[in-house]
């Protein structure tokens, strides 16, 4: 604030300072502003138009906005939304709520932007730091939404689609090495060998499962051995009846089909776990990436605050 005269020179009006500091005896403390400094300086300026100089008293008043209100209502919510953006990657992909959570955080950041826009002076000359920080967090939220869609797409990938060699090497060899992980599912599941149908043999000792049945039947009929004896006393192979042989063939064929089906299901489950392991590795990589980016942006914005 400059106090002086444009009409009277120093020969007619001489201004002097009673003190260098402003009298603050009537100052009322403000809840929004801090009075940092208030000084007064006597200036003597000579212009080319007039022989005598002009005298003025310049008061310099430095005000600083109190940050507690903005810290509690603007800065902390923005930092909290940034932290929630990072911890959204902790939500399991199978829950199906990760995209909804990120969109909710993005909506909250939009409401936050509307609130602090009303509390800062509108200007196009300088971009406030809060605007820069919120814009950076909003960009990170958009990127996290895209990354989440990618991770969910990989996690729920169809098992009939074969994983490419390049993608498998990049995920399980490069990214897993960065995370210092050694997933068991990085090995490609081999195709299960198909079981061949083997006809039922007629030799009883080759089928111990059926042997007790025959022994029980022969015991009930009075024979002491499941093997029949030849007239000269030599043991003779037991021969299944034709109807029982057909039944055994049908039972073994059905058991083979069930075993093959279980083997195929196990192979499909291993492929599914492999896609899920790849999605989890990518998820962890982006979690640490977004954590580092959020911390870096926050620290940079903090040091950009003018002293």
Tokens of 150: 């990618």
Give the pLDDT of residue 262: 62
Q: How far is 187 from 189, CA to CA, in rounded Å?
A: 6
Q: How far is 27 from 42, CA to CA, in rounded Å?
A: 22
Smallest CA-to-CA distance from 75 within 130, 128, 121, 115 is with: 130
Q: What is the DSSP string of 232-296?
A: TS-EE-----HHHHHHHHHHHHHHHHHHHHHHHHHHHHHHHHHHHHHHHHHHHHHHHHHHHHHHH
Give the pLDDT of residue 198: 44
Residues 6+ apart with CB under 8 A from 77: 108, 112
Kindly give the confidence (pLDDT) of every residue in the chain, 307 residues in length, as a single tens digit, with 9 standing for 90 and above: 999 888 888 888 888 888 877 888 888 888 888 898 888 888 998 888 888 889 999 989 899 888 888 788 878 888 888 888 888 888 887 777 888 888 888 888 888 888 877 877 777 778 888 888 888 888 888 888 898 888 888 888 877 777 888 888 888 888 888 877 766 544 444 444 444 444 444 344 444 444 444 444 444 454 444 455 555 555 555 555 666 766 776 777 776 666 666 665 566 777 788 888 888 888 888 888 888 988 998 888 888 877 6
Q: How far is 243 from 305, CA to CA, in rounded Å?
A: 93
Q: What is the DSSP string of 13-61?
A: -----S-SB---TT----SSEEEEEEEEEEEEE--TT-SS-EEEEEEEE
Give the pLDDT of residue 188: 47
User: How would CATH label the architecture of 69-190+279-303?
Assistant: Up-down Bundle (1.20)
Asked if 155 and 148 touch (Cβ cutoff 8 Å), the reply is no
Tokens of 144: 């996290």
Conformation bin of residue 222: beta by default, left when phi > 0, alpha when psi is -120 to 50 = left
Q: What are phi and psi of 232, to 5 degrees?
A: -85, 5
Q: How far is 20 from 58, CA to CA, in rounded Å?
A: 11
Please give the distance of CA 238 from its chain centroid, rounded to a whole number: 68
Give the pLDDT of residue 201: 40
Conformation bin of residue 77: beta by default, left when phi > 0, alpha when psi is -120 to 50 = alpha
Give the pLDDT of residue 266: 64
Give the pLDDT of residue 225: 45
Smallest CA-to-CA distance from 163 within 281, 288, 290 is with: 281
Q: How far is 98 from 151, CA to CA, in rounded Å?
A: 11
In the chain, what are the domain boundaries? 2-66, 69-190+279-303, 204-229+236-276
Q: How far is 136 from 127, CA to CA, in rounded Å?
A: 13
Tokens of 81: 């939304």
């Amino acid at each position: 604030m400059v106090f002086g005269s444009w009409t009277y020179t120093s020969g007619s009006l001489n201004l002097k300072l009673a003190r260098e500091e402003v009298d603050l005896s009537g100052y009322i403390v403000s809840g929004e502003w801090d009075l940092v400094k208030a000084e007064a300086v006597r200036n003597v300026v000579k212009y080319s138009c007039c022989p005598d100089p002009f005298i003025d008293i310049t008061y310099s008043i430095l005000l600083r906005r109190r940050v507690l209100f903005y810290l509690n209502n603007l800065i902390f919510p923005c930092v909290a939304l940034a932290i929630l953006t990072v911890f959204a990657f902790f939500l399991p992909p199978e829950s199906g709520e990760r995209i909804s959570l990120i969109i909710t955080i993005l909506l909250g950041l939009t409401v936050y932007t509307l609130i602090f826009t009303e509390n800062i002076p509108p200007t196009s000359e300088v971009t406030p730091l809060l605007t820069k920080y919120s814009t950076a967090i909003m960009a990170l939220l958009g990127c996290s939404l895209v990354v989440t869609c990618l991770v969910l797409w990989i996690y729920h990938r169809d098992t009939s689609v074969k994983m490419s060699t390049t993608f498998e090497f990049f995920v399980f060899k490069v990214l897993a090495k960065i995370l210092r992980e050694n997933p068991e599912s990085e090995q490609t599941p081999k195709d299960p060998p198909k079981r061949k149908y083997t006809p039922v043999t007629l030799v009883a000792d080759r089928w111990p499962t059926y042997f007790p049945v025959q022994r029980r039947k022969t015991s009930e009929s009075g024979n002491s051995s499941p093997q029949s004896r030849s007239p000269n006393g030599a043991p003779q192979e037991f021969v299944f009846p034709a109807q029982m042989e057909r039944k055994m063939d049908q039972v073994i064929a059905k058991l083979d089909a069930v075993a093959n089906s279980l083997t195929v299901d196990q192979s499909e489950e291993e492929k599914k776990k492999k896609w899920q392991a790849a999605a989890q590795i990518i998820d962890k990589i982006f979690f640490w990436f977004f954590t580092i980016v959020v911390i870096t942006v926050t620290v940079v914005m903090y040091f950009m605050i003018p002293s």
